[in-house]
Amino acid sequence: MAKDRSPVAFSSHGSCYWDKVAFFSDYPKDKPLSKPDLTAFPTGYPMWTHPPNRFTKARGWNEISPEVGASLVVGPAGNSFSGPHGVGVAALVLSANPALNPWEVKELLEETATDLGDKGRDIHYGAGLIDALAPFTQQRRSTKH
């Protein structure tokens, strides 16, 4: 998702299935798996890294705050940048409640996501934009476990 919350061209979307694959044929074409689960921003946010060199600068990394031994940079886009957002929020939720099962963390993140696109779950945004604060401030809509 771009900063303006529109889908980015390189992001996957829609249902997926796999059939006739050992141990994974639980989502055939007639009963596909709904994807994506959640949405996060793939770029535009600073991160710490080693100081950029001519190779990283050529790939689009922009240094915004040079420091000794590291730099705050804004870099290229990709799902590999949005994935850590989801993992980080899941870790934050587990730090507050380590007794949660993985599926409960997933359910909580989906229930507290900011809905984007078509109302409810859709093929471009899944359950919506991950919100790191919402699991701690919003009351859960579901109590099923």
pLDDT in tens, the chain (145 residues): 666 777 777 677 788 887 777 777 778 888 888 888 888 876 666 777 777 777 777 777 788 888 887 888 877 666 667 788 889 999 999 999 999 999 999 999 999 999 988 899 998 889 999 999 999 987 655 444 4
- Nearest in space to 57 (alpha carbons), one of 74, 45, 82: 74
The Cα 127–Cα 117 span in angstroms is 10
For residue 144, what pLDDT is reported? 45
Identify the structural domains of the chain with CATH numbers, from first to last: 1-42+77-145 (3.40.50.200)
Cβ atoms 129, 113 nearer than 8 A: yes
CA 111 → CA 64, 129, 133, 139, distances in Å?
35, 11, 12, 10
For residue 135, what pLDDT is reported? 93
- Nearest in space to 92 (alpha carbons), one of 72, 108, 111: 108
pTM above 0.85, yes or no: no
Asked if residue 32 has a cis previous peptide bond (ω within 30° of 0), the answer is no
For residue 78, what pLDDT is reported? 67
